[in-house]
Amino acid sequence: MLVIIPIKLKNPKTRLAGILNKEQRRKLVLTMLSDILSALEGRDVIIVLDFPKENLKGKFRKIVEEQEGLNHAVGKATKYALEKGYNSTLFLPGDVPLVKKGDIAMIEKLGENYNLVLSPSNDKGITSLFRRPPNVIKECFSSKSFEDFVKEAENRKISYHIYYSTSLSIDIDTPQDLKEFMLIGKGTRTYEFLESIGLEVKVCARR
């Protein structure tokens, strides 16, 4: 299984611009990635970047993807997985810092019996997508990705399983997501970073 993580650094997390400046948002993205990679220790990982000069450290392959669009980025990584002979992929967005090793192990285990294993976020987006084989269903991410993938799987009679997990229910895109994360995110590097810049105070002030 190859894990695919796309991250955006050129103009990251614009919906958080009201409470975090650009450099803080950029650091947030990199810190969330660090938490995610901790859950992926020992696994094959490919990171799709939109910023060619970023010097990321770690045991993973990096692909620089200059073009805009999540679908294009994941599609490029999927093509790489097929070329290298991987029989499955797991897409994880770069903003799920609560993900645990146990989540990854469970998804992979479920993938032995299903061609598709997916997890919904609280806002009906998608926070994980296991595919076996990697091209069993085309990447088509949107604001309602979860419903779209389920509908496509049902229409094409692709076996699928919905994996529900608290640690995959929050993807950090909005101030509301940050509020929810700060309630349960203690113990992560992301929480420590947000606390260090006084985010907890800012969030409380906006309630």
CATH number, domain with residue 201 = 3.90.550.10
pLDDT of residue 144: 80
Examine the pLDDT at 62 and tell me if it is beyond 50: yes
pLDDT of residue 202: 53
Is residue 162 within 8 A of residue 120, CB to CB? The reply is yes
pLDDT of residue 69: 83
Dump pLDDT digits (tens) for 155-181.
999 999 999 999 999 999 999 999 999
Name the β-bridge partners of 139: none
Q: Which residue has the tokens 């806002």?
A: 123
pLDDT of residue 201: 46
pLDDT of residue 19: 93
The percent of residues above 70 in pLDDT, for the chain, comes to 89
pTM over 0.75: yes
Q: How far apart are CA 109 and CA 147, in angstroms?
A: 23
Dump pLDDT digits (tens) for 22-48.
999 999 999 999 999 999 999 999 998
Q: How far apart are CA 196 and CA 199, in angstroms?
A: 8
In the structure, what pLDDT confidence band is assigned to residue 57 with cuts at 50, 70 and 90? low
Q: Phi first, then psi: give them for residue 33, nearest 5 degrees.
A: -60, -40
Q: How many domains does the chain have?
A: 1
101 vs 50 pLDDT, higher one: 101
206 vs 65 pLDDT, higher one: 65
Q: In what order do the strands lie in the sheet with 2-7?
A: 61-64, 44-49, 2-7, 89-91, 126-131, 116-120, 160-162
| Residue ranges making up the domain that contains 129 | 2-205
pLDDT of residue 54: 62
Q: How far apart are CA 74 and CA 72, in angstroms?
A: 6
Examine the pLDDT at 65 and tell me if it is beyond 90: no
Examine the pLDDT at 154 and tell me if it is beyond 50: yes
In the structure, what pLDDT confidence band is assigned to residue 205 with cuts at 50, 70 and 90? very low
